[in-house]
Amino acid sequence: MKRVCKINICCHFCGRVLLSLLVGVVVTLTSLISGVSCFSQESPRRPEAEAIDARARELTPHVSDRQPLFAAPVDDRQAWSVATELSDAVNAVKRAEEVVKEPLQTVPEELYREFYNTGIRSNYEKQYGAQRQRLNTLVLGELVENKGRFLPAVEEMIHMFCDSPSWLLPAHDRNAEVYDGRAIYSDLFACELAWNLGLTYAVLREKLSPETNTLLVDNIRRRILDPFRRSITGEQKAIWWINSKHNWNAVCHMGTLGAALCVCESREERAWFLAAAEYYSKDFLDSFTADGYCSEGLGYWNYGFGHYLYSAMMAERATNGQIHLLAGEKPKKITLFACEMELVAGIYPAFADCNITAKPYSFTVGLLNKKLNLGHDSWSAAACRQRQGVRALQHVAVALFDADYLALEPDSATANVDAGLPLRSEFPDAGVVLCRPDPNEVRGSLAVAMKAGHNNELHNHNDVGSFSVVKTFRDAQGKTRATLTIQDPGGEVYTRRTFSKERYQGELLNSFGHPVPRVNGQLQQTGAQYQGEIVSRAFTDQEDRIEMEISAAYGLPELESLRRVFRYQRGAETLHDTESHSNADSGKCCGCLHVTDTATFAAGSPGTLESAFITRLEVNIIKGQGSELELQLGGEEGVRLTLTGEADGTPLELSVSTQIVGENDESVREKPTRIAVVHANPAQKVTINCVVTP
């Protein structure tokens, strides 16, 4: 019975190989006939091509003959004993056993084309992600067990991917031109899949059939490596992300380099891909401000800089130390961004397209701490604890063969205690300031993050002047807890609109969904010229004062000035003894925040000002109209807002209203509440002041 199965599988594989070759011929001929050849001469040789060629010649003598250059083949059980001894190793095999019982589900063509018809991305991406995870699970199970039980399913997965017309996401495939064979280029997901398949080849090639190995390598070359090289040599239209200045650069170059190091046999060829990755790495580092700030948000710091770390690890090992992508001050500053963006108690402000629960990956910060000698021992301890997991092929195949990672100490109690968060962190180039309470305070206290910036940042939101407020408290066990009260709400669920000219129709992306003013009923505009500036700052242990000029963000000629002043006080405040605080202890709490907006209009052009606050807590309007308003956001875990105003020197009558952000928009998954504080009559100078207390 086994012999019959092998014969059937072999025939099936040979048939698929022949079919794949025939499809490749048809695609090439079709492209040539249509005039959109994948070998098109539309782009001249890139000016950096000579520099990459020269650097490759320098690197070649240093590139090891050994291939692959990191993860060992599955038969090297001494090398793989590191993975088999991890606490999660047994579960890795169990997960593979469950997966192999499930029939392989291919993604139908109509799901790929759904994006073009409806703009919905998530349905295809979910199933495509499940396929990639299935391959990951099966390969890891085989690496841990090494009994051959999962190899047929691995081969089936390889053939399925090689049969697929496109490895891209539909959202990244212009008019389905890759899917339909009219062009060939790569994206984030194609490059990552190529690396996963390359790693599969590197560790299992002796176990896979020759036909499968040939098919796998040919597809990686045809879809990823060859188009990349032709883009640089000018033999085809350049792939746009090659010298981009955002996360695509790091992710796509990492996947391309990883795949090349796995499947390219010659040292010269591997040296060329290493030289290219090194050359374009500087463009990714340029996406961060000089002070290390990541305008894409913390989630994309994890994604982009985490992949950059993998490239650095592979490149250094592959060249015997000739390439150091982590050298210099810039990578160190970018690493420290992850530490200094912690507001308090594990909460990070969700500026740009960032999830409000985003935190730095412990593996990334822990290993960077070790390699850059930053002294954050708790980071390294957390990364070491994560090593017990066997869930990502890239992590297991690369990190578990890294000497620095294996040297991490698992017990933070044996390491030096971190100094803890400072009273404040500042990114002057980005216009971002974080202010924190006195760490010795044990009562409820506030921490605040403020942002000036401009409205053409990476993964931009129109959010000049935005801020987030966190309330901290100690639980019954004495552990510090925290609640987001007023907040920058983070990003939306991606659809076709998200990265189109209609992007700012989304209320979570335009300034309506952010705690920033509206002037004369107008929201902020989009573009680098629509910006904010920190015009003054004053810091003491007791109080931090930051003054911003944000009028330029609105582009209104009648608006002469719009000053937003944050005054953060760390001193004690008496808790309100009202019915809304009946469950709170009496006494003192730490800190309050004053937010003052002052709009000055040109002579003869009086205007209106509306201050806004965004929250996901329950809003209790205690007093919603008059010269002094009061609101409570949340219960004991929330904050009190007291609002007053002034127009042309006289007290201002205010009113408050609430509205759900993105109420009818499916791309806004968790819908926050927008609190608007307005005045009815135009004036030459209008001030609205809000005091936020615990």
Q: Is 541 exposed, middle or buried (0-12, 13-18, 19+ CB in 10 A)?
A: exposed
pLDDT recorded at residue 636 = 81
Tally of helices (H runs) and strands (E runs) in the chain: 19, 21
Are the CB atoms for 616 and 488 separated by under 8 Å? no
Question: Among 623, 677, 682, 612, which residue's Cα sits nearest to residue 647?
Answer: 682
**Looking at 44-53, 220-229, 350-359, 571-580, which range is the least confident one?**
571-580
Cα 200 from Cα 108, distance rounded (Å): 25
pLDDT at 645 over 50: yes
Residue 549 has pLDDT above 90, yes or no: yes
Predicted pLDDT at 390: 77
Answer whether 362's CB lies under 8 Å from 378's CB: no
Q: Collapsing DSSP states into helix, strand and coil, what is residue 554? A: coil
- E-strand stretches of 143-263: none
For residues 629 and 120, what is the distance between their CA atoms, to the nearest angstrom? Answer: 42
**pLDDT score, position 87:** 84
Q: How far apart are CA 84 and CA 91, in angstroms?
A: 11
Distance CA 350, CA 639 (A): 19
What integer pLDDT is reported at residue 441 of this predicted model?
67
Beta carbons within 10 angstroms of residue 533's beta carbon: 15
Q: State pLDDT tens for residues 233-276.
A: 999 999 999 999 999 999 999 999 999 999 999 999 999 999 99
Q: What is the pLDDT of residues 591-629, one digit of tens each?
A: 799 999 999 999 999 999 999 999 999 999 999 999 999
Could you read off the pLDDT of 663-688 as tens digits, one per residue?
Answer: 999 999 899 999 999 998 999 999 99
Mean pLDDT of 620-641: 94
β-bridge partners, 614:
674
- The alpha-helical segments, DSSP class H, found in 210-355 are 210-220, 226-233, 247-263, 267-285, 298-300, 306-318, 329-340
Q: What is the pLDDT of residues 11-41, one digit of tens each?
A: 444 444 444 444 443 333 333 333 333 333 4
Condensed to tens digits (0 to 9), the pLDDT of residues 92-140 reads 999 999 999 999 999 999 999 999 999 999 999 999 999 999 999 999 9
Average pLDDT over residues 5-10: 38
Report the C-alpha gap between 381 and 407 in whole angstroms.
11
Tell me the average pLDDT of the chain.
Answer: 88
pLDDT value at position 436? 93
CA distances from 291 to 334, 352, 681 (A): 8, 18, 43
Sheet (strand 625-626) strand order: 518-519, 609-615, 673-678, 654-660, 625-626
Q: What is the mean pLDDT of residues 384-388?
A: 70
DSSP single-letter state for residue 475:
-
pLDDT mean over 466-495: 88
Confidence of residue 418 (pLDDT cuts 50, 70, 90): low
Could you count the other beta carbons within 10 Å of the beta carbon of residue 97?
15
Calpha distance 133→391 (Å, rounded): 9
- CB-based contacts of 459: which residues, under 8 Å, 6+ apart? 246, 295, 296, 297, 300, 352, 353, 354, 491
Measure the CA–CA gap between 119 and 444, rounded to whole angstroms. Answer: 45
Q: What is the pLDDT of residues 293-304, one digit of tens each?
A: 999 999 999 999
pLDDT tens per residue across span 56-80: 999 999 998 776 567 889 999 998 9
pLDDT at position 575 is 41
Q: Which of 230, 244, 135, 247 lies closest to 188 in space, CA to CA?
A: 247
Instruction: Kindly state the helix (H) or strand (E) to which residue 547 belongs, with its residue range.
Output: strand 543-549
Among 105-114, 196-205, 214-223, 404-413, which is the least confidently predicted range? 404-413
Largest CA distance in the chain: 94
In a 13 Å sphere around the CA of 565, the CA atoms on its Cβ side amount to: 16
Dihedral of the alpha carbons of 252, 258, 264, 265, in degrees to the nearest 10: 160
Q: How confident is the model at residue 443 (pLDDT cuts 50, 70, 90)?
A: low
Q: Give the percent of the chain with pLDDT over 90.
A: 74
The whole-number average pLDDT for the span 465-482 is: 86
Assess whether pLDDT exceeds 70 at residue 1: no
3-class DSSP state of 38: coil
Count of C-beta atoms within a 10 Å radius of residue 458: 18
Banded model confidence at residue 410, pLDDT cuts 50, 70, 90:
low
Question: Three-state DSSP class for 595?
Answer: strand
pLDDT number for residue 389 = 73
Q: How far is Cα 82 from Cα 369, in angstroms, rounded to an integer? A: 22
Q: What is the pLDDT of residue 67?
A: 61
Q: pTM score, two decimals?
A: 0.89
